[in-house]
Amino acid sequence: MVSIAQTEPAPTSPLSADAQDRAHATRGAAERWRSNIIAQAMQIEPRISACVADVQHDGAVLVYVVCTRAISQKQIYDHACAHLAPGDIPNVIIRLASLPHARDGSVDTAVLTALAALHRIATPPV
């Protein structure tokens, strides 16, 4: 006599795969929109010539700034506090001499991701 083990059906998501893809795309678009707003607000400071913001999936905010004149890390952080909503204040501020660019002229996000891994800072500068 052969016994056939009964298995429970795999749990299914209440959303179809297509709906999950759309939700993920919407979340990604919202993160890009938020990143652009943060970068624009940071560039209001005249000593910041370029800025790229990266909103992580966990909500952490990283900003990469290029400064034209002397500005301290605390001044950058104070500027962020004055111009951004509390949830948009950077957790990590990485200063660069220039933004890395890919061959097509766009910002090389792979290089920025590698830099972020090297500069993990748990708390904002004080």
Measured CA to CA, the distance from residue 84 to residue 102 in angstroms comes to 29
Domain housing 89: 17-118
| pTM: predicted TM-score of the whole model, two decimal places | 0.70
Measured CA to CA, the distance from residue 46 to residue 76 in angstroms comes to 11
Domain membership of residue 63 (yes or no) is: yes
Residue 113 has a pLDDT of 85
Measured CA to CA, the distance from residue 116 to residue 3 in angstroms comes to 55
| Residue 59, pLDDT above cutoff 70 | yes
3-state SS, residue 121:
coil
Contact residues for 121 (Cβ-Cβ < 8 A; gap 6+) = 91, 92, 93
Q: What is the CATH number of the domain that holds 68?
A: 3.30.300.30
Domain membership of residue 80 (yes or no) is: yes
Domain membership of residue 7 (yes or no) is: no
For the stretch 82-117, pLDDT in tens is 999 998 999 889 999 999 999 999 999 889 888 888
| Residue 65, pLDDT above cutoff 50 | yes
Task: Report the C-alpha dihedral over residues 95, 97, 98, 103, rounded to 10 degrees.
Answer: -110
Q: What 3 state SS string does 81-107 have? A: HHHCCHHHCCCEEEEECCCCECCCCCE
